[in-house]
Amino acid sequence: MIISAVILDFDGLILDTETSIFEAWRAVFREYQQELSVEVWGNALGTHGGYDPCAHLCELTGLTLDSEVLRRRVHEAHIEQCLREPLLPGVLDVLHEARAQGLRTAVASSSSRGWVERWLAAHRIHHLFDTVCARDDVKRVKPAPDLFLLAAERLDVPPERCLVFEDSPNGIRAARSAGMRCVAVPNAISRMLPLPDPDLVVRSLAEIPLTSLIARLGCDIGGRPPERDGDENVSFEA
């Protein structure tokens, strides 16, 4: 098996945005003497529309709550925490090694394009990706395979030659459905959930060099000749 491209999820894989939004919603639930479990929240990981915390809280309390106000509060707390988050360990290593090996690179995220590109720009890594695929680009998000198949199409690489890095069960299901190899990199939230049959599980992207990881999967690298990255000082609109 030849690997010619690597595709990374965004939330919880490149930046730990998952913990902060879960904790923000859990704080709201506790204000109403309710508990939001990781198992319930797991339905929201890696997808969009898989879980509605406002509706759930209304159901638990029997109250009619202002969902717009609650969502605004959570969003503000979420952004404040994300601004303090560094890139997760090993992200830069994987991207630089992929580029050096001539592998194509992509982000495939169930989040909006505006959200993903905001943080790629803030951390100055947008230039390390050949394409960004977000929920704006497809009819179905993960666990459907559409985002990964679109990334493969844009990269001009067959799906079976793509290696996906994912942190969530929904993302792993999507990668497998797309016919791609998948390495699970569970974060603080998703490591408490069962993972649906990834090819390999690592504790972080820093655990093993990319070339060694690909060899461990029994695959070879079939990348294009390395290309020079664009100007690292270019600014992207958030």
What confidence category does residue 225 fall into, taking pLDDT thresholds of 50, 70 and 90? low
Same domain, 105 and 182: yes
For 219-238, what is the mean pLDDT?
A: 55
Residues 178 and 137 in one domain: yes
95-109: pLDDT as tens digits: 999 999 999 999 999
- What pLDDT shows up at residue 48? 86
Mean pLDDT of 6-17: 97
Q: Are residues 6 and 36 in the same domain?
A: no
Distance between CA 41 and CA 53 in Å, rounded? Answer: 8
235 pLDDT exceeds 90?
Answer: no
208 part of a folded domain: yes
Mean pLDDT of the chain: 92
- Are 126 and 164 part of one and the same domain? yes
Q: What is the tally of structural domains in the chain?
A: 2
Query: 236 near 120, Cβ under 8 Å?
Result: yes
Helical axes 53-61 vs 17-31, angle rounded to 10°? 20
Tens of pLDDT, residue by residue over 114-149, are 999 999 999 999 999 999 999 999 999 999 999 999
Count CB neighbours of 97 within 10 A. Answer: 18
Q: How confident is the model at residue 236 (pLDDT cuts 50, 70, 90)?
A: very low
One-letter amino acid of 139: K
Residue 232 in any domain: the answer is no
Q: Does the residue 182 lie in any domain?
A: yes
Q: Count the alpha carbons within 13 Å of 126 in the hemisphere toward its beta carbon.
A: 19
**Which CATH number covers residue 157?**
3.40.50.1000
Claim to verify: residue 96 and residue 118 sit in the same structural domain: yes
Asked if residue 149 lies in contact with residue 178, where contact means CB atoms within 8 angstroms, the answer is: yes
Catalytic residue numbers, as ranges: 9, 11
pTM of the full structure: 0.89
140 and 204 assigned to the same domain: yes
Please state, in angstroms and rounded to a whole number, the distance separating the CA atoms of residues 234 and 34.
46
User: Per-residue pLDDT averaged across 189-212, rounded?
Assistant: 94
Q: What is the C-alpha to C-alpha distance for residues 118 and 156, in angstroms, rounded to an integer?
A: 25
- pLDDT tens per residue across span 178-198: 999 999 999 989 998 989 989
Place of tokens 């977000």: 134
**Contact by Cβ (8 Å): 188, 20:** no
Residues 94 and 210 in one domain: yes
Q: Are residues 32 and 103 in the same domain?
A: no
- In which domain, by residue range, is 29 found? 17-82
The alpha carbon dihedral of 108, 114, 118, 124 has a sign of positive
Tokens at 29, concatenated: 């639930």
Same domain, 105 and 26: no
Residue type, 166: E
Confidence at 42, pLDDT banded by 50, 70, 90: confident
CA pair distance 144, 178, nearest whole angstrom:
8
pLDDT for the residue numbered 237:
33
The pLDDT score that the predictor gives to residue 136 is: 95
